[in-house]
Amino acid sequence: MEFYFLGTNAGVPTIQRNVTSIALRLLEERRSMWLFDCGEGTQHEILRSPLKLSRLEKIFITHLHGDHLFGLPGLLSSRAYQGGTAPLTVYGPPGLKQYIELSLGISQSRINYQLDMVEHTGGVLFDDGQFRVESALLDHRIDSFGYRIVEMDKPGKLNQELLERYGIKPGPIYGKLKRGESVEVEGGVILHPQDVLGSPKKGRIITILGDTRPCPNTVMLAQDATVVVHEATFQHELADTAYEYHHSTALQAAEAAKAAGAGQLIMTHFSSRYKDQEQLGPLLEEAKSVFPNSLLAEQHVLLPVPDIG
């Protein structure tokens, strides 16, 4: 899994940064891509990236402010022209369905793939045995949600040396054992998964938060997360401004990651007053003073999700 940031600015696009959109690439896990928020110009940023709309499987909208939403109708319309024919599900707060249907309807846009729209107010959104996604309300001017993506534990590695002793080569039997099925081999010997599998590989947890002031649900969603993506709109010297506009500072993002026992913090959603990565340096410094494993998101830069153990 890896992050690809398509926009890291708050409010409006600038020459240096586009507004919010985050791609989570699930290359090995399911050969697909999930998108979190879709600000204006997101499809243009995708054209400048290695991402493919045909791989897009799910979109999660944190809230209905324009800098997180205005790119959605165009992207949905363009997806079919870029080979996207597989079903697509969009999740978001109440009002999302009306926005999509009105935008596509008035423009007479044609969608030739199955488009499902799921409005929610939090809770478990889906669980397919490989991933579970849950959501909770944050503290913003309008309803804004955070998402917690839990990867289920994976079977341990097969003991190939032992399997070779039984004359078993890579193939269907390997798959059965990894799925937890016992198999009969030559001589009538029954091999059970626990006999040939190592310890399970712990699944990763990813938390991606929408715009928010500090609140208990940020810590709840980020509990023991491998990576937390948290807004850091302002440096902490502007904490009063952040509070007034229902946002967080870099220091507050770091405090949330620390309180949650997270492994890594990636900060995004930066105010336009910080023109470039150099001017964002003080935000990174103050975050690291509380939570050393802090990073600044940067557009068109891949950030791998760390493995556990």
Asked if residue 192 belongs to a known ligand binding site, the reply is: no
Helices H, strands E: what count in the chain? 11, 16
Verify whether residue 37 is a known catalytic residue. Answer: no
Find how far residue 71's CA is from the centre of its chain.
18
Q: How far from each other are the two terminal CA atoms of the chain, in whole angstroms?
A: 15
Give the tokens for residue 175. 């798959």
Task: Kindly name the residue from 67, 128, 139, 143 that is annotated as catalytic.
Answer: 67
Asked if residue 269 belongs to a known ligand binding site, the reply is: yes
- Sheet with 265-268: strands ordered across: 123-127, 131-137, 145-151, 205-209, 227-231, 265-268, 294-296
Neighbours of 180 (CB within 10 A): 11
Neighbours of 309 (CB within 10 A): 5
Asked if residue 211 belongs to a known ligand binding site, the reply is: yes
Distant-in-sequence, close-in-space partners of 211: CB < 8 Å, separation ≥ 6:
10, 62, 63, 65, 68, 138, 140, 144, 231, 233, 246, 247, 269
What is the torsion angle, in degrees rounded to the nearest 10, for the CA atoms of residue 212, residue 3, residue 22 and residue 258? Answer: 0
Asked if residue 140 belongs to a known ligand binding site, the reply is: yes
Asked if residue 120 belongs to a known ligand binding site, the reply is: no
Q: Which residues are annotated as a binding site for Zn(2+)?
A: 63, 65, 67-68, 140, 211, 269
Q: Which residues are annotated as a binding site?
A: 63, 65, 67-68, 140, 211, 269
Residues classed as catalytic: 67
